[in-house]
Amino acid sequence: MEIFNGNISHLIFKANINQGMGKVSVDTKMLEVLSSLDGSIDSSSVARLLKMSMFDLRIILVKLYKRGLIVKVKKNVPMLDSDFMAFLKSQLADIMGPITNMLIMDTTARMGVKSKSVPFNRAAELIDILSSKIPMDDKREAFREAMLSRSGIRG
> pLDDT for 114-131, tens place per residue?
888 888 888 889 999 999
Which tens digits make up the pLDDT trace of 70-94? 999 987 778 899 999 999 999 999 9
Is pLDDT of 24 > 90?
A: no
- What residues contact residue 59 under an 8 Å CB cut-off, 6+ apart? none
Is pLDDT of 3 > 90?
A: no
- What residues contact residue 61 under an 8 Å CB cut-off, 6+ apart? 4, 8, 13, 33, 43, 70
Which tens digits make up the pLDDT trace of 43-76? 988 999 999 999 999 999 999 999 999 999 987 7
pLDDT at 1: 67
Higher pLDDT, 121 or 26: 26
Say whether pTM exceeds 0.85. Answer: no
Determine the length of the chain. Answer: 155
What is the distance in angstroms between the CA of the first residue and the CA of the last residue of the chain? 35
